[in-house]
Amino acid sequence: MQSMEYVYAVYCEKSFSAAARKLFISQPALSSTVKKVEKELGMPLFDRSAFPIQLTTAGKAYIKAAKQILTIQKNFKSYVGDLANLQSGNLSLGGTNFFASCMLPFMIKAFSKNCPKIQLRITESDSADLYARLLTDEIDLIVDSGLYNINFYESISLMEDHILLAVPSNNIQNKSHSAAQLTQKDIIAGTVNNENIPAVALADFAEEEFLLLGRGNDMYRRSLELCRNSGFSPKVRLYLNQLMTAYHMARQGLGITFLTDSLVRKSMLSDALVYYKIKDPAAVRKIFIAYRKNAYQTSAMREFIRLSRNLYSKSPVK
């Protein structure tokens, strides 16, 4: 079984050196083990002349079988762990930078208090990579807010997130929209849900320079949709990788941006930005826990979901 795990690690990392680092063994030891497997099979599993290394035809068949075997092994270990009534076991969680820094810590704290003997592993990456790892059982659960393929994944809602327009306080446009302005303290107090506070006409800011997240991010898709629905294409000054980076750039007056009320609530107090509500269905997004469809849910997974819903839902889940 260890030999199979070694071959699978090389396949995942596309490199013997990277796989060796991941496995905490020397590269010669890893290469020797893989060659031994290939010798037993009578054919190579990897095309070492390619860069990065690629699977041979035999290698593809081997990895397909290895995935099935490793999934069975993981499910059996999970079943045995369940029998121990959360006294042992592992749970692998994933999230993008925003969710890993702003939401997962609170969820992990609640879970660890109830299940201190469950070993946790956290993966922080982009959504595409997280869903790919979810599909191969490298990750059990991820926290996300974007689109996903319903043929492969399922989700459980945690809360709604509201997208706001964030504008530097010294922007001249603010003088014309004083009735719609929200401060960070207003958002922390929940004033964003006050129907008496009007939404801003996003088209009024069409000539401003925007700071947007890059392609492939849910906020990128939503930002363009919000602007398109208001009849314009944004003038983008910078494309950024993280929502928190956009927040700090906007605070320095480098442009206006779209932020979520959950991020604003968790950021340090500052009056460098003012915020505006946006009246558009695309400005509301659901945050959820996603998992592989038809995957075996361990007791640890079920307990993490239950505690997280209690933590973020208005009506605690029994």
What is the distance between the alpha carbons of residues 108 and 182, in angstroms, rounded to a whole number? 31
User: In terms of DSSP H, where are the helices of 27-56?
Assistant: 27-41
Statement: residue 304 has pLDDT above 80: yes
pLDDT at 179 over 60: yes
With H, G, I as helix, E, B as strand and everything else as coil, classify residue 264: helix
pLDDT at 316 over 60: no
For residue 159, give both structure tokens.
């809360």
* Better-scored residue on pLDDT, 191 or 233: 233
pLDDT score at 241: 87
The token duo for 63 is 């990895």
Q: What is residue 69's predicted lDDT score, i.e. its pLDDT?
A: 85
3-state DSSP: the chain helix, strand, coil percent, rounded to 5? 50, 20, 30
Nearest to 263 by CA among 244, 276, 246, 280: 244
Average pLDDT value for residue range 257-279: 93
Q: What percentage of the chain reaches a pLDDT higher than 90?
A: 60
Domains 1-83 and 161-285 share a fold: no
pTM, two decimal places: 0.68
Beta strand ranges found along 223-268 (DSSP E): 235-240, 256-260
| Residue 168 pLDDT > 90 | yes
Condensed to tens digits (0 to 9), the pLDDT of residues 209-233 reads 999 998 878 899 999 999 999 999 9
Which tens digit of pLDDT belongs to each residue from 19-34?
999 889 999 999 999 9
Give the 3-state secondary structure of residue 168.
strand
**Residue range 1-83, CATH number:** 1.10.10.10
Give me the pLDDT at residue 68, please.
84
Percent of the chain at pLDDT exceeding 70: 95
Report the distance separating Cα 95 and Cα 141, nearest Å: 9
pLDDT of amino acid 315: 41
List the domain boundaries for the chain. Answer: 1-83, 161-285
Kindly state the average pLDDT of the residues 253-280: 93
102-145 residue pLDDT tens: 889 999 999 999 889 888 999 998 888 899 999 888 899 999 98
C-alpha torsion 198→203→208→209, nearest 10: 100
On average, the pLDDT of the chain sits at: 89
Tens of pLDDT, residues 37-75: 999 999 999 999 888 899 999 999 999 898 888 888 777
What is the CATH class of 161-285? alpha beta
Is residue 183 predicted with pLDDT exceeding 50? yes
Whether residue 93 is predicted with pLDDT greater than 90 in this model: the reply is: yes
- In 145-193 the beta strands, taken as DSSP E runs, fall at 153-168
The Cα 275–Cα 192 span in angstroms is 9
Cα(308)–Cα(159) distance, rounded to whole angstroms? 10
Assess whether pLDDT exceeds 50 at residue 318.
no
What confidence score (pLDDT) does residue 117 get?
86
Give CA 311 to chain center in angstroms: 18
pLDDT at 317: 40
